[in-house]
């Protein structure tokens, strides 16, 4: 299947220029290849491996956005940027943090995650491990 996908990618005029991802025994072989435009293509022997590779690629491209969005939803943005105003609005980051904690998005997400079926949970955990591996590799 991986060979067929590589042929398909090559057939549409993409040149695979870089390989950067790892495989472990629990994920099988995982390849993250970037084409000449920098677009990531994930190849894996397993679904979990594909989710790991997707998380890895997403963190490489959108790590700051992911961290920023997480802090907003958790009501923890002011810890990083202080109580300053956001944009041209009167609301500060601290006001937003209070609102987000009142809404309870983070605790609601935790409750939902606790009730996921095992297959979905495994896929999401593999994605998260890919994100964490990417962050760790960036800080080495």
- For 73-127, write each residue's pLDDT tens digit: 999 999 998 887 767 778 898 999 999 999 999 999 999 999 999 999 999 999 9
The rounded distance, in Å, linking the Cα atoms of 32 and 84 is 39
Assign domain 2-138 to its CATH superfamily: Penicillin Amidohydrolase, domain 1 (1.10.439.10)
Q: Where are the beta strands (DSSP E) in 10-130?
A: 18-19, 30-34, 40-44
The answer to whether 133 touches 22, Cβ cutoff 8 Å, is: yes
């Amino acid at each position: 299947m991986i060979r067929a996908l590589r042929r398909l990618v090559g057939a549409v005029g993409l040149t695979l220029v870089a390989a950067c991802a790892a495989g472990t025994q629990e994920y099988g072989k995982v390849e993250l290849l970037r084409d000449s435009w920098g677009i990531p293509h994930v190849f894996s022997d397993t679904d979990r491996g594909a989710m790991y590779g997707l998380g890895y690629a997403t963190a490489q491209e959108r790590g700051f956005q992911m961290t920023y969005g997480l802090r907003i939803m958790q009501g923890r943005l002011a810890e990083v940027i202080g109580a300053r105003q956001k944009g041209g609005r009167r609301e500060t980051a601290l006001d937003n943090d209070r609102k987000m904690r009142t809404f309870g998005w983070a605790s609601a997400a935790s409750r939902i995650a606790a009730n996921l079926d095992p297959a979905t949970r495994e896929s999401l955990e593999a994605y998260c491990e890919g994100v964490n591996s990417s962050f760790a590799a960036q800080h080495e």
